[in-house]
Structure 1
């Protein structure tokens, strides 16, 4: 059985109206313009060397969260200006994330996603189910896998490796592409899981392993 088939079969078992998450935080300042809620989904096939969050790789039930409950949680914090989908690979749960995005955009939040797929792959017939639906809701997409051999060692870069690209679908955000910094956020979740995020996080991981 192919890896993609394994991912699809697992995602089909997630109850309708739910997301399978690795984690969630409010008010991140290193995952897109302004302060943003960040939703890390569970499951990724790429297993990129140097990945910030390898605990997001397995396709297994982690935190099943009702979409409407998650939307309510995000909206309950007035400091969240938008939401960013990360992972894991968001597009393996594209239909559910599209539903969440619609609820949040209706309340004025912007929606951004990081994906290991390229935009061309997401627009192709081989894209994960619902990819077009989610793409239509995005204001910003950062595409392409993290390639350790092409890592960018600069706090001024919007991407973490040279192959990645930033696609801005909402012209109102063209002048807000300024989230890159040397900041690192380390979030400890309720179950003890550690999420390292931010464009300085690879420096932190490299130092820890040296």
Structure 2
């Protein structure tokens, strides 16, 4: 069962206007949406789904604060990035700032996709996090629904990680570009020598040296 804790509004108020609290960032990912893209992992999620790939993103405590402008500059600095994907954590808890980032990214010709543990119906309801509709308005693609371990899909051509999740294509231009796979992984070696693993490890058994 997916756990859902209390509203994190008080902690979110610690994020200054114009900033995002993120867990991580990577360029040139090909397993988090169509084409080659930047990925932003926001910090904070209430669900704590069993089998979650990013348990380090659950806490709402301040991790890395970055301005919208600095993050946009980072995304645009790599010409291979065709778009940007928001993941986490739960992107919609920081919807107002992400909506502004998405809006600016699209003026530079990038496409925007987001994952969310909410359903689309919840995001369109009166109980949605603040700014949810503004972020939805900027998205080309949304994958909704929490990860449910008992419904996991281990397939090299599945776009989602569990059967309850859905792909919503808001921009018809991407109907024929749904080619990434949820059961693939990338390992990025960062400048400081650390490794960032993204994608979904599926049934592969990995060991850290």
Shift in CA distance, 147/103, structure 1 to aligned 2, threshold 3 Å: same
Equivalent residues, number: 205
* 1:203 corresponding residue in structure 2: 203
* 2:106 corresponding residue in structure 1: 105
2:161 and 2:182 in contact (8 A); partners too: no
CA distance in 2, matches of 1:186, 1:58: 23
Residue 57 in 1 paired to residue 50 in 2? Answer: no
List alignment gaps of at least 5 residues for structure 1. none
CA distance in 2, matches of 1:190, 1:95: 31
1:198 is displaced (CA, Å) by 1.6
1:52 and 1:202 in contact (8 A); partners too: no
CA distance in 1, matches of 2:195, 2:206: 17
Deviations 1:55-103 (A, max 9, x none): 0001100000010010011001100000000000000000000010011
Write the mapping of 1:44-193 to structure 2, written as runs, cut at 5 A. 44-180=45-181, 183-187=184-188
SS in 2 for 1:176: coil
1:8 is displaced (CA, Å) by 1.2
SS in 2 for 1:95: helix
1:172 is displaced (CA, Å) by 0.4
Deviations 1:116-165 (A, max 9, x none): 00000000000000000100000000000000000001111010000000
1:13 is displaced (CA, Å) by 1.4
Could you say which structure has the higher helix fraction? 1
1:197 is displaced (CA, Å) by 1.9
